[in-house]
Amino acid sequence: MNVEGIQELVNYIEANLRSSKTAGLNFVDSRNYSSRLTNKQNHVIFGRRGSGKTSLLNSIIENKSIFNIFINLEDFKDITFPNILLYILMTTFNELLKEINSKFPWFKFSKKANKLKKEIKFISKEFKKYLDEPDEETQNINTVESDGLSYNAGFKMDQANVGTKCNKDFSQEIRRKISKKKIDFIRIQLTNYKNLIINISDLFTLPIFLILDDFYFVDKTIQPELVDYFHRLTKSTNLYLKLATIKHRSKLYKRDNKKYIGTELGHDIFDIDIDYTLDDFDQLQTFMKQLLDNAIQNSKCNIIFEQLFTGDGFSQLCLASGGVPRDLLFLFVNLANNINTQNKIGKIQVNEAAISNLADKLDSLKKDSKDDESILENYLYVIKSLVYNSNKTNAFLIAKDDFDKHHYFKQIIRELIDLRLIHLVEQNTSKAPSDGRRYEAFILDICLYDNSRPLNFRQIQPGQRDEKSRRDKLRASPVIEFSKIKSFIYDNGSLQTSNKFSDKEVTKQMTLSFE
């Protein structure tokens, strides 16, 4: 075993585990996503944390036939609407100004470029001015209105005409209150911004891609308004929107007063889902092997893939990753540090590494879910209790009609999937024995196991079939119903969660924000 080569590989992966402008593993594009992303269309990239969204975006940044503006929205996550809109616009136009200055410096005179520079500097000052103003204010307007009255009177006295003229003014002060909203200014200026972008694009003779990474960090309540504004900004221009986000932490449109705000998938914006789920486990293993082979090649370490794993080690590592590339690489780094000349990575070692990763995943839950943290955490605890503790397995079924009746229950499950704590393994299956209903099948993440060798435990492997290509073991998994979870939480009055999750209590007053 080449221990030095393994250390070189580990060092390379650690240095490039998180993608940025200066580092990151090459995106393994087995589905030709990079080509799609360069199309002149608005796109949203869906993927869980660590799935490679930023790596995919970085793969098009070096494309010289496109001018890219890259903005990480995590930097603006604590900024309220509409200030976040102003910040993004200001950043966008500042980047455009930098590019114009680069292409047309002071000694390379261009009347059109100079005119655009002045316009951008002017609107940048407007942005800064409005950032300091309140989002909405009421202004008192005082006006004076007058109504003048005049008349003439006359008579004769000893052959002389005597006359007089009287004037009288009536005036009053009128006080009015006028509401002034910052968002109204931004909306009114939309046409001016579009015209400016059109002229800049003509100057560059290139399309402009506005890349908004980590869109899910924006408060979910303002996401539709934010994407709606930039969608309108792209219409009839050479500007194209590229969003990257977590699917079920995002809301791209909403209905307000009988009108839609935001973007509609397949019409206003096209989706690229880069997640590898466990429902096609063979494809997932092929992809993950390509990912490791790519790292081995780029690190120039003198080892081969087969030297790293024994038995079901790699298969279990793919399962423990839940289909997320960064999770697989993170676990691999922890495991590879313990490889010596005799030992390779096996199934038990993978389980131990995955279980030790629970705290990090729960930290991600707290970071990503905000106000929904306690709800998600305790639903997860109940599911684990019913599946792992009571039925000694990792798989469970949920009826599709149960999701149809309880949409917030479906949202909770989808968010737990996005948080990589449970995984979808079959979108449409039946129960064994069949009851005429259709189900979705899931498994718990390995990090939820109590130990690496659970007793009397039946682990269901994704894609596992018998000699007749049947998935009867998966279909025989316990059924989890919303009523069971609700009863478990509410009928017990309160529920003390496991120390592995939190010390919070779930009470009858627990608010379901998904409802």
CA separation for the pair 441, 358 (Å, rounded): 22
Nearest to 10 by CA among 292, 225, 421, 369: 292
HEC per residue, 21-59? CCCCCCCCCCCCHHHHHCCCCCEEEECCCCCCHHHHHHH
pLDDT reading at 466 higher than 80:
no
Which pairing describes strands 239-245 and 208-213: parallel, antiparallel, or unpaired?
parallel
Q: What is the dihedral of CA 389, 395, 401, 407, to 10 degrees?
A: 70
CA separation for the pair 13, 340 (Å, rounded): 18
HEC per residue, 259-310? EEEECCECCCEEEEECCCCHHHHHHHHHHHHHHHHHHHHHHCCCCCHHHCEC
Tokens for 374, please give them: 């306690």
Mean pLDDT within 351-366: 90
pLDDT reading at 504 higher than 50:
no
Nearest to 510 by CA among 497, 366, 386: 497
Q: Which helix (H) or strand (E) holds 365?
A: helix 358-369
Which pairing describes strands 270-273 and 43-46: parallel, antiparallel, or unpaired?
parallel
Tokens for 402, please give them: 């149960």
Cβ-contact 275, 281 below 8 angstroms: no
Q: Name the more confident of 25 and 375.
A: 375
Q: How far is CA 64 from the centre of its chain?
A: 27
Tokens for 1, please give them: 């075993």
pLDDT, position 244: 97
Cβ-contact 314, 344 below 8 angstroms: no
Cβ-contact 180, 217 below 8 angstroms: no
Summarised one tens digit per residue, pLDDT across range 133-183 is 887 656 555 555 655 555 455 555 455 555 555 555 555 666 555 556 889
Confidence of residue 339 (pLDDT cuts 50, 70, 90): confident
Summarised one tens digit per residue, pLDDT across range 190-248 is 999 999 999 999 999 999 999 999 999 999 999 999 999 999 999 999 999 999 999 98
pLDDT, position 495: 46
Tokens for 500, please give them: 């592995």
Cβ-contact 84, 75 below 8 angstroms: no
pLDDT reading at 106 higher than 90:
no
Q: Which CATH number fits domain 32-134+184-273: 3.40.50, 1.10.1760, 3.30.70, 2.30.30?
A: 3.40.50
**446 secondary structure, DSSP code:** G
C-alpha distances in Å from residue 440, one per residue of 237, 395, 399, 477? 43, 11, 6, 11
Q: Which helix (H) or strand (E) holds 230?
A: helix 223-234
Instruction: Determine what percent of the chain is predicted with pLDDT higher than 70.
Output: 82
Summarised one tens digit per residue, pLDDT across range 269-279 is 999 999 988 88
**Secondary structure (3-state) at 219:** coil
Q: Which of 305-309, 478-482, 504-508 has the lowest mean pLDDT?
A: 504-508
Cβ-contact 442, 396 below 8 angstroms: yes
pLDDT reading at 317 higher than 90:
yes
Q: Which of 240-244, 358-362, 369-373 has the lowest mean pLDDT?
A: 369-373
Q: Which residues, at least 6 apart from 397, have a Cβ–Cβ distance to it below 8 Å?
A: 429, 431, 439, 440, 441, 442, 475, 477, 478, 479, 480
pLDDT, position 81: 93
**Secondary structure (3-state) at 131:** helix
Q: Which helix (H) or strand (E) holds 122?
A: helix 111-131
Q: What is the pTM (predicted TM-score) of this model?
A: 0.83
Summarised one tens digit per residue, pLDDT across range 474-487 is 999 999 999 888 88
pLDDT, position 120: 96
Beta strands in 60-130 (DSSP E): 67-72
Q: Name the more confident of 494 and 448.
A: 448
Nearest to 204 by CA among 102, 308, 128: 102
CA separation for the pair 215, 225 (Å, rounded): 13
Strand partners of residue 269 = 265
Query: What is the residue-averaged pLDDT of the chain?
Result: 85
CA separation for the pair 235, 269 (Å, rounded): 11
pLDDT, position 29: 86
**Angle of helix 281-299 relative to helix 325-336, nearest 10 degrees?**
60
pLDDT reading at 188 higher than 90:
yes
pLDDT, position 494: 44
CA separation for the pair 310, 322 (Å, rounded): 20
pLDDT, position 35: 92
Mean pLDDT within 9-26: 78
pLDDT, position 233: 96
CA separation for the pair 220, 431 (Å, rounded): 36
pLDDT, position 153: 52
Tokens for 462, please give them: 């994704």
pLDDT reading at 22 higher than 50:
yes
Q: Which residues, at least 6 apart from 227, have a Cβ–Cβ distance to it below 8 Å?
A: 215, 241, 243, 252, 253, 262, 263, 269
pLDDT reading at 383 higher than 90:
yes
